[in-house]
Amino acid sequence: MKLNQIITSLLETDMYKFSMGEAIYHQFSDYKTTWTFKCRNTDVHFTAEMVQEIKEQIKAYCSLRFTEQELDYLNRITWIKGSYIDFLRLWQPRYEDFKISDEAECGLSIETFGTWLNTSLYEIPTLAIVNEVYFRMAYDYDRLYASFRERLEQKIKDASGRYEIGSFSEFGLRRRLSAEAQELAVRKLKEAEFRGSEFVGTSNVYLAKKYNLTPVGTMAHEWIMCVGQGNHKHNPAYSNWYALDAWVREYGVLNGIALTDAITTDCFLRDFQLTYATLFSGVRHDSGDPVEWGEKMIAHYQKLGIDPANKTLLFSDSLDFARAHELYEHFRNRTKVAFGIGTYISNDTEVPALNIVMKTTLCNGMDVAKISDTPGKGMCKNPDYVHYLKRCIDWRMNHDR
């Protein structure tokens, strides 16, 4: 490796990977998935030297094991069960599950294959490695880091005086400039004194442990996609029902923020009826117009006879402090409002951040897809399956009342 090791702990992933991981372990341990990397930036190219460094960094990541201290930390989280901790004690990443090459338009192709238990845990460290390798090798990193520090100081000053956003967390691991940049941001945010705002946590479990913050995260789109579409007996238009049902079987009333936009929020609301709306403490926004979405969720709770003031709307889509302030002012007197803010905190420099993702593209040999509330945020290798999924959703929305 030409760079220092980027991922140095298996805790260095987003919290929702462990939340989903436990439920996968107990209910879907035989599921197999394929994950595919995609760079959405049309002007970005990974050199052969970068690809080789990414390979070496992922090999180093695959040499890691959980320490007993790390497992003890996870075991203290209310909803994590001892049986899953025992699994993690034996778990190790497998480099053999990765296929990495330069055979892509952007110069980098990554796919992972294997059990969902394994491949789910690869996504976040892989993206963090790709980001840091790119920014350290494509630019003058010291200059980028200096601009990052300068902008971070201004953000904290603005958040301390100009903006009120209530509770917010840092969600930037997968697209961070570097490990040191994300850690600096988390440390500075914890030390800052805000007016009308409170920094409560981070999705990065390693940093949450290190700085005594709340590790934040419940479910991602992969949960709805694989649970709902990975069984050929399921009608994929009911993906949310299968996913919510499995989640409640695992956690009951704990760990309950539901993601709404895997196959559109309107379809989600067909399944988010009284039982689930009562059991889940709130919902997360990740695509579409956030004000329209929030109003829709409040109206849905009211229709069910549930007081929205007792529920949380968590916004996590491309936020900065100014936008979070607007949303907080709009909703603050009617419901609990929280924010997960990612790239704006962890990778704001003088050059644009990468727009890279790694998504589930196959589950049990079958295509899976996301149909979000924002066109273009989905990813599927088979356009015919996307067409089929849309037809299933349309039929349900028009016929299944």
38-69 pLDDT tens trace:
999 999 999 999 999 999 999 999 999 999 99
> Residues 6 or more apart from 203 whose CB is under 8 A from it?
14, 15, 16, 169, 170, 171, 172, 173, 215, 216, 217, 340
Alpha-carbon dihedral sign for residues 216, 220, 223, 224: positive
Average pLDDT, the chain: 96
CATH 3.20.140.10, applies to 141-346: yes
Q: Check whether 379 has a pLDDT greater than 80.
A: no
d(CA 270, CA 275): 12
Residues 327, 292: contact at Cβ < 8 Å? no
Cα-to-chain-centroid distance, residue 275: 25
pLDDT digits over 318-353, tens only? 999 999 999 999 999 999 999 999 999 999 999 999
pLDDT of residue 377: 73
Count Cβ atoms below 10 Å from residue 342 Cβ, excluding itself: 21
Q: Check whether 367 has a pLDDT greater than 80.
A: yes
In DSSP terms, which residues pair with 313 in a beta bridge?
Answer: 283, 337
- pLDDT classification of 381: cutoffs 50, 70, 90: confident
pLDDT digits over 13-23, tens only? 999 999 999 99
Tokens standing for 219? 């479910």
Q: Check whether 89 has a pLDDT greater than 70.
A: yes
Residues 354, 175: contact at Cβ < 8 Å? yes
pLDDT of residue 401: 60
Residue 374 Rama label (left phi>0; alpha psi -120 to 50; beta): beta
pLDDT of residue 150: 97
- pLDDT classification of 400: cutoffs 50, 70, 90: confident
Residues 268, 260: contact at Cβ < 8 Å? yes
In DSSP terms, which residues pair with 204 in a beta bridge?
Answer: 14
pLDDT of residue 1: 93
Q: Mean pLDDT, to the nearest integer, of 158-179?
A: 94
Domain boundaries, the chain: 141-346
